[in-house]
Amino acid sequence: METGKAEVHGAAEGLRRQKVGVLGAGTMGSGIAITVARAGHPVVVRDLSEDRVEGGLASIRKFLDRGVERGKLSAEKRDAAVSGLSGTTELEALADCDVVIEAIFEDEALKAETFGQLDEICGPETLFHTNTSTLSVTGIASGSKHPERVVGTHYANPAPLVNLVEVARGRLTGDEAHRRTIEFVEGLGKEVVLTKDTPGFILNYFLVPFENDCIRALEAGMGTVESIDKAVTLGLGYPMGTFTLLDIVGLDIHKAVSFALYERLRDPRFAPPPLVDRMIAAGHLGRKTGKGFYEYERAGLMGT
């Protein structure tokens, strides 16, 4: 849920192609899959239903097509990324992956259980990455028989556009898994920030309460959506307005992240304001539904 400089990345020279599994075909999972595929790695996206898998793959292809249209990606790189992309509903399809990146619902027990299942499917050298930024990497890793290979990799959102990944090691993460993870992430063209296994890591610890403050300011009539975004970009120097970013992330995701952090930190600034619930009830989740704080001509991943 963070902003940053938009770039088009390529795989770092000399690093081998690795098969990567991505768990979750939603906004975050699809964004990570785009990032990995664009760097030259074959990617298999797994979700619970065929509809969700196909929807995620369609969003990924559409985003890559738009990159070509806008001159930010060559047609050759787009074709290579798409040719290495596949989808599945079966965990077993990830058996030969070198890296599995989990981007499923923010539920520690569910994530831990998933890694326990992957223990029985993947080889002993497979790296397990969790994209959580609100839950304990150590707690998630407790579901695995090999917690030493579980590493936190929080991709700043939107993942294909922001040049940053937070890497957090759990209490039992091994040195080799940590080293290989940093090498893999840097090979995607990303900058790595090392952080402790604490709620929110660095980015969301600061960003989520700020986003909620902006929503409260809107509720209080301190400014409009447009004027608050302009103040944030021109006055504070942020590359993207708060409401623009929230529309990309999705109000449903923002609510889930906010509550998860509030439950752990008990700071009222992390609790989402009432307007968030009203927008969710109206189906105004952001870009993916065509309307959030702004209205969009088309619904889809990051405006695709």
111-138 tens-digit pLDDT: 999 999 999 999 999 999 999 989 999 9
**Helix 251-265 and helix 242-249: axis angle, to 10°?**
100
Percentage of the residues of the chain whose pLDDT score is greater than 70:
94
Q: Are 250 and 285 in contact (CB under 8 A)?
A: yes
Q: Is 166 a catalytic residue?
A: yes
DSSP 149: G
Q: Are 142 and 162 in contact (CB under 8 A)?
A: no
Q: Please check whether the domain covering 20-195 is classified as CATH 3.40.50.720.
A: yes
- Residue 4 clears pLDDT 50, i.e. is over it: no
Tell me the average pLDDT across 83-94: 97
- Residue 8 clears pLDDT 60, i.e. is over it: no
Q: What is d(CA 82, CA 96) in angstroms, rounded to the nearest whole number? A: 19
- Residue 11 clears pLDDT 50, i.e. is over it: no
The residue written with tokens 């040049």 in the block is 163
Amino acid identity of residue 120, one-letter, is E
Give the three-class secondary structure for 129. Answer: strand
Q: Is 204 a catalytic residue?
A: yes
**Confidence at residue 298, expressed as pLDDT on a 0 to 100 scale:** 82
**Helix 251-265 and helix 203-219: axis angle, to 10°?**
110
State the pairing for strand pair 150-155/164-169. antiparallel
- Count how many Cα atoms sit within 13 Å of the Cα of residue 24 in the half-sphere of its side chain: 20
- Start-end ranges of CATH 3.40.50.720 in the chain? 20-195
Among residues 30, 59, 131, 133, which one is catalytic? 133
- Count how many Cα atoms sit within 13 Å of the Cα of residue 141 in the half-sphere of its side chain: 23
Q: What is d(CA 197, CA 266) in angstroms, rounded to the nearest whole number? A: 18
- Start-end ranges of CATH 1.10.1040.10 in the chain? 204-294
Among residues 131, 142, 204, 212, which one is catalytic? 204
Among residues 41, 129, 154, 254, which one is catalytic? 154
The residue written with tokens 């760097």 in the block is 39
The residue written with tokens 């098969």 in the block is 19
Query: For the domain with range 204-294, which CATH number is right: 3.90.1170.50, 2.60.120.640, 3.40.50.12280, 1.10.1040.10?
Result: 1.10.1040.10
**Confidence at residue 1, expressed as pLDDT on a 0 to 100 scale:** 46
Among residues 2, 106, 148, 166, which one is catalytic? 166
Amino acid identity of residue 92, one-letter, is E
Q: Is 59 a catalytic residue?
A: no
Tell me the average pLDDT across 214-243: 97
**Confidence at residue 299, expressed as pLDDT on a 0 to 100 scale:** 80
Prediction pTM value: 0.89
DSSP strands (E only) in 70-203: 85-88, 99-102, 127-130, 150-155, 164-169, 191-195
Q: What is d(CA 264, CA 242) in angstroms, rounded to the nearest whole number? A: 24
List the 43-46 sheet strands across, edge first.
85-88, 43-46, 20-23, 99-102, 127-130, 150-155, 164-169, 191-195
Please state, rounded to an integer, the average pLDDT across all residues of the chain: 93
